[in-house]
């Protein structure tokens, strides 16, 4: 009994978002600080080698260093700082943000036991300094909260050594730090085991941190959800001993440029319900099925820092999906807010049920547009692999905005069609719809299901099943939950404006 009590006390005291409180210090300088532990120097495939390295092309060739993007060479020195040459590819003067992000991540990985880092940035645009901070900070992220001893050294400080426009570089560095922090918050939440992070606990955390970030928080419990006819969320929750929560977030700047709604799937753990998942590694990863809600919350916590002028409302639809004697059964018919009836033919297609209620609310609340994000279908993973999220939209301008945010953040998306004839797979003999298609193209039929609840409001659906989890680390992505979408949504919101 004592051990159970201690575990319960630990859960009560546990704060799974330490990175919210401890972002590394970032400065823009014209020379490396004297106490820096390592300095990264970018080198291209061609051209002169910076004199500060004390090396020439012949010396680099002897060490097998070519300057390819992401290649590193740690140069032995008598003492600190450690010198690291970092390949930047073809053109140092016009490096793309993706290249900067990859190169700085390679540098930070090469000196992963050093906390204070400096990097020479050859092209110090605001976008490039933001990308440099993101690469350094995000690659060194580790979820160490539940370890008795941390197995990594966090980044404590970042100094970007630049020439030219210091004001623009500093603005970019601040932006990069905010966006990196958003991703780390999303990673922390998604990596937190289900027994430490329930729907109730997430609501408590949002209530705790939201006001300090100029984000209002409203929490709707079971009784409130019943009074609002939030049928999808309540139905999925039937099998769980943990109560559901809808968490409504509100960011309201003065004189907003538009009204954007964000909807996040917050299935805190997805067993599949009565259609239980197979006992494999995917089952163990289902703590990450709330990654959409994590991305929405994390993105909104940095909007004030980013001086976002868009009014943003977030809907986090949070519950477990569990098997029990009271669980939703195959063949049951449920009613989504607004009156649409759905025959449930797959209890493991629960994400679309919990988000449907929120899409109706977003439409009723009069937003200019709505974007939802979810780890929704294995079909999206099978179609696009682990690096790319599928997107679907009913509005070309909004879809283009999501794609532009993707290009800026390096969080990749690819548009798939809302092919209307496939909606025939969702016909029911008993209700208005069934919740899952019976044929191929599962990502498309899932999107078509959600589209039924948007009723003409500009809408984009992001199916992040693939990139939500990193199995093979690469570039700025360590293994584990990726935090995908947090930076993308923050970029989208700050750039959003109604025509």
User: What pLDDT, in 10s, does the model give residues 427-485?
Assistant: 999 999 999 998 899 999 999 999 999 988 999 999 999 999 998 888 888 888 899 99
**Domain CATH for 63:** 3.40.220.10
pLDDT of amino acid 2: 45
Percent of the chain at pLDDT > 90 equals: 74
User: What pLDDT, in 10s, does the model give residues 63-100?
Assistant: 999 999 999 999 988 778 999 999 998 766 666 889 99
Task: Answer whether residue 23 shows pLDDT above 80.
Answer: no
Q: Tell me which residue range forms the domain holding 118.
A: 17-180
Task: Answer whether residue 183 shows pLDDT above 90.
Answer: yes
Q: Are residues 393 and 449 in the same domain?
A: yes
Q: Are residues 148 and 250 in the same domain?
A: no
Q: Are residues 356 and 240 in the same domain?
A: yes
User: What pLDDT, in 10s, does the model give residues 248-272?
Assistant: 999 999 999 999 999 999 999 988 7
Q: Domain for residue 187, yes or no?
A: no
Number of domains making up the chain:
2
Round to whole Å and give the CA distance between 325 and 32.
Answer: 64
Q: Are residues 139 and 214 in the same domain?
A: no
Average pLDDT over every residue of 390-416: 97
Q: Domain for residue 284, yes or no?
A: yes
Q: Are residues 451 and 394 in the same domain?
A: yes
Of 158, 180, 202, the domain-final residue: 180
Q: Are residues 229 and 338 in the same domain?
A: yes
Q: Are residues 260 and 313 in the same domain?
A: yes
Q: Are residues 165 and 209 in the same domain?
A: no
Of 180, 214, 247, the domain-final residue: 180
Q: Are residues 173 and 221 in the same domain?
A: no
Q: Are residues 30 and 89 in the same domain?
A: yes
pLDDT of amino acid 287: 82
Active site residues: 277, 352
Record the pTM. 0.94
Longest CA–CA span in the chain (Å) reads 77
Of 151, 180, 209, the domain-final residue: 180
pLDDT of amino acid 482: 92
Q: Are residues 150 and 197 in the same domain?
A: no
Q: Grade residue 222 by pLDDT with cuts at 50, 70 and 90.
A: very high
Q: Domain for residue 399, yes or no?
A: yes
Q: Are residues 149 and 83 in the same domain?
A: yes
**Domain CATH for 378:** 3.40.630.10
């Amino acid at each position: 009994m004592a051990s159970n009590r201690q575990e319960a006390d630990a859960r009560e005291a546990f704060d799974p978002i330490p990175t919210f409180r401890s972002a590394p210090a970032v400065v823009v300088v014209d020379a490396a600080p004297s106490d820096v532990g390592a300095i990264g120097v970018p080198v291209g495939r061609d051209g002169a080698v910076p004199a500060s390295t004390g090396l020439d092309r012949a010396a680099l060739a002897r060490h097998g260093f070519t300057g390819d993007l992401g290649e590193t060479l740690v140069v032995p020195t008598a003492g600190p700082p450690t010198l690291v040459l970092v390949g930047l590819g073809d053109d140092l003067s016009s490096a793309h943000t993706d290249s900067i992000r990859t190169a700085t991540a390679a540098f930070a990985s090469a000196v992963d036991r050093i906390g204070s880092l400096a990097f020479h940035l050859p092209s110090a645009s605001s976008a490039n300094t933001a990308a440099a901070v993101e690469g350094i900070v995000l690659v060194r992220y580790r979820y160490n909260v539940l370890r008795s001893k941390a197995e990594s050294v966090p980044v404590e400080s970042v100094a970007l050594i630049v020439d030219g426009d210091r004001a623009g570089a500093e603005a970019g560095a601040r932006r990069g730090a905010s966006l990196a922090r958003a991703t780390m918050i999303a990673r922390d939440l998604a990596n937190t085991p289900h027994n430490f992070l329930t729907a109730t606990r997430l609501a408590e955390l949002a209530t705790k941190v939201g006001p300090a970030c100029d984000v209002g928080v409203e929490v709707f419990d079971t009784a409130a959800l019943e009074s609002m006819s939030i049928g999808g969320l309540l139905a999925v929750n039937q099998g769980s001993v943990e109560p559901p929560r809808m968490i409504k977030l509100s960011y309201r700047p003065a004189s907003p440029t538009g009204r954007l709604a964000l909807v996040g799937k917050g299935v805190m753990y997805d067993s599949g319900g009565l259609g239980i998942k197979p006992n494999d590694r995917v089952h163990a990863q289902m703590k990450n099925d709330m990654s959409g809600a994590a991305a929405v919350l994390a993105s909104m916590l940095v909007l004030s820092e980013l001086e976002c002028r868009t009014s943003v409302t977030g809907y986090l639809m949070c519950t477990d999906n569990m098997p029990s004697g009271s669980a939703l059964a195959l063949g049951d018919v449920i009613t989504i807010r607004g009156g649409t009836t759905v025959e449930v033919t797959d209890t493991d297609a629960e994400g679309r049920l919990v988000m449907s209620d929120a899409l109706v609310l977003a439409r009723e609340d009069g937003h200019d547009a709505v974007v939802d994000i979810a780890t929704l279908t294995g079909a999206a993973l099978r179609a696009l692999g682990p690096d790319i999220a599928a997107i679907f939209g009913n509005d070309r301008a909004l879809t283009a905005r999501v794609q532009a945010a993707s290009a800026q953040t390096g969080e990749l998306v690819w548009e798939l069609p809302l092919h209307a004839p496939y909606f025939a797979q969702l016909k029911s003999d008993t209700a208005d719809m069934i919740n899952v298609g019976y044929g191929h193209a599962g990502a498309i039929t899932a999107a078509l299901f959600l589209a039924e609840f948007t009723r003409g409001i500009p809408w984009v659906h992001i199916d992040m099943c693939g990139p939500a989890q990193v199995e093979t680390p690469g570039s700025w992505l360590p293994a584990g939950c990726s935090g995908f979408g947090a930076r993308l949504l923050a970029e989208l919101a700050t750039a959003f404006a109604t025509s």
